[in-house]
Amino acid sequence: MNIPRILDGKSVAAAVLDECRAEVAALAEKGIVPGLAVVLVGEDPASQVYVGSKTRTCAELGFHSRKIELPAATTQDELLKVVRDLNADPAIHGILVQSPPPAHIDEEAVIRAIDPRKDVDGFHPENVAKLALEDPTGFVPCTPAGCMKLLEVAGISTQGAEAVVIGRSMIVGKPMALLLVSKKSNATVTIAHSRSKDLPAICRRADIVVAAVGRPEMVKADWVKPGAVVIDVGINRVEDASKKSGYRLTGDVAYAEVAPLCSAITPVPGGVGPMTIAMLMKNTLQAARQLG
């Protein structure tokens, strides 16, 4: 039987965070303490967990961190004022507004209001352009950057590989495709999505599958070519009466049936999730370095 490699995001993230600690010490000698502000509007329970992890990791690394929790009824103008104040605050190098905001918020306008030099999510159009241009002064969105780091550390080559990214979001799918097709990675990339014709057949072509659709266990065994590498970005809460919380976390990949076919696969939780936070810390250090 094939035994797949389990790509352990927790240990790779821990190694990235150790690198960050060394850089925090180097910046301290120049009198710079990296500062990250995380803004959460509303009470979405999953977002609360993510924001809590981000600020906790900042504290562990010796960053200055500010968690700004705003009520769901916060207006667009109030949120824009918070962002502008953070833009002007010299103690803050990185600004992140947790997505998704409540429906009445124009998220695009909020992203555009963030100073692109502090946009550690890499969502501002200036940073999206820099990613497409392969300009290293831009910020690469944290989740796709984390997926690339996992592949790199595992020694999985993307050179000339057939990669299929399922999902076309600005947070994961599109930037992931740009990273895979870059001159450094040289993959041949297909971006598939919910309207793609015959998604299983497209997916079966892939040497590397990146699933980022947000649908629990959508990618089945007959979607995956034997020996493929599967990166599961999904973190879905599904009801589970046997759990104290009433739910369990599952990815976009039907892990139990897909894993035995793969050469390597990320688990959920403990795969891509911890990498996202580690890359956010790296981006905040990049911002602190570049802003000085």
> By the criterion CB under 6 A, which residues form the site for ligand GUN?
96-99, 121, 142-143, 171, 276
Q: How far is the CB of 50 from ligand GUN (least distance, A)?
A: 7
Compare residues 13 and 262 and give the one whose CB is closer to ligand GUN: 13
The 10 Å Cβ neighbour count of residue 159 is 8
Compare residues 57 and 258 and give the one whose CB is closer to ligand GUN: 57
Residue tagged 């039987």 (tokens): 1
CB 93 within 8 Å of CB 114: no
Active site residue 121: yes
Q: How far is the CB of 29 from ligand GUN (least distance, A)?
A: 30
| CA–CA gap between residue 228 and residue 126 (Å, rounded) | 34
Q: How far is the CB of 139 from ligand GUN (least distance, A)?
A: 11
Active site residue 232: no
Compare residues 105 and 258 and give the one whose CB is closer to ligand GUN: 105
Catalytic residue chosen out of the listed positions 118, 119, 121, 174: 121
Active site residue 76: no
- Name the residue with the smallest CB distance to ligand GUN: 99
Compare residues 37 and 228 and give the one whose CB is closer to ligand GUN: 37
Residue 97, judged by CB atoms within 10 A of its CB (0-12, 13-18, 19+), counts as: buried
Q: Which residues, 6 or more positions from 17, have their beta carbon under 8 angstroms from its beta carbon?
A: 57, 60, 61, 278, 281
Say what angle helices 125-133 and 173-181 make with each other, to 10 degrees.
20
Q: How far is the CB of 120 from ligand GUN (least distance, A)?
A: 9
Give catalytic residues, as residue numbers: 54, 98, 121
